Chain A
Amino acid sequence: GAVVSQHPSWVICKSGTSVKIECRSLDFQATTMFWYRQFPKQSLMLMATSNEGSKATYEQGVEKDKFLINHASLTLSTLTVTSAHPEDSSFYICSARDIDPGNTIYFGEGSWLTVV
């Protein structure tokens, strides 16, 4: 079946540095991908909708300059957490929409980010 891959699965970075997380659709083209984050014991919260070839649409309260999203190809979206701080430590999950057939959504395995 369709697969969405995220990389890295785990990342530790120092405060003030930037970290990039990749989301790839492995066997289908995804014009739309979604980025979520999940804090411990909380829901997955939609951060932004990533549209191939155009700017991402951010949810209210999500800083677009802090969470840079690039969707330069039909199989790859990247989330860059800029100037990371410990409060950005979270579980980040992407999903991709396969329009053929039926707008099925496939999720990646998620990426754990720890900022120290």
Chain B
Amino acid sequence: GDSVTQMEGPVTLSEEACLTINCTYTATGYPSLFWYVQYPGEGLQLLLKATKADDKGSNKGFEATYRKETTSFHLEKGSVQVSDSAVYFCALSDRGGADGLTFGKGTHLIIQP
């Protein structure tokens, strides 16, 4: 079946550091890929997505590129802020997100001033 593997946390960085959170997947079909973010006390929010190979999703300074050859969708940001502290989930869907999602375990990101 489908699965998502993302790097274990917590990841602790200083403000303005570069961020990469690795995500790889296995899927039987041609999935859509997502990054969700969960801020403390809130529900999961869609951060960005990509629906086909070489697509780049971007939002709030975060980027991720759909790499079919390496089955990866790594999340990157050039300069993180304290407000980026949250739990980040990589996920995939075989139906463009309209159906249930397969999630990674989540990565807790802590940004220190």
Contacts and interface: CB of A to CB of B under 8 A. Distances in A.
Interface of A: 4, 6, 34, 36, 41-46, 49, 59, 93, 95, 97, 103-110
Nearest to A9: B41
Interface stretch (B52-60, B62-70, B71-79, B92-100): B92-100
A104 B98 CA distance: 7
A110 B60 CA distance: 24
B105 A42 contact: yes
Contacts of B103: 36, 43-45
Contacts, number: 49
A49 B99 contact: yes
Contacts of B100: 34, 36, 46, 49, 59
A107 B97 CA distance: 12
> Chain B interface secondary structure, helix, strand, loop or mixed?
loop
Nearest to B103: A44
B43 A93 contact: yes
Contacts of B89: 44
Q: Lowest 6 A-B CB distances belong to which pairs?
A: A107-B44, A46-B100, A103-B98, A107-B43, A44-B103, A109-B43
Given A106-B43, A110-B43, 20 more contacts: A34-B101, A36-B100, A41-B105, A43-B103, A43-B105, A44-B89, A44-B103, A44-B106, A46-B101, A49-B100, A59-B100, A93-B44, A95-B44, A103-B97, A104-B97, A105-B98, A107-B36, A107-B45, A108-B43, A109-B43
Contacts of A36: 100, 103
19 contacts: A4-B43, A34-B101, A42-B105, A43-B4, A43-B102, A44-B89, A44-B103, A46-B101, A49-B99, A95-B44, A97-B98, A103-B97, A103-B98, A105-B97, A105-B98, A107-B36, A107-B44, A109-B42, A110-B43
B31 interface: no
Contacts of B41: 109
A63 to B, nearest CB: 17
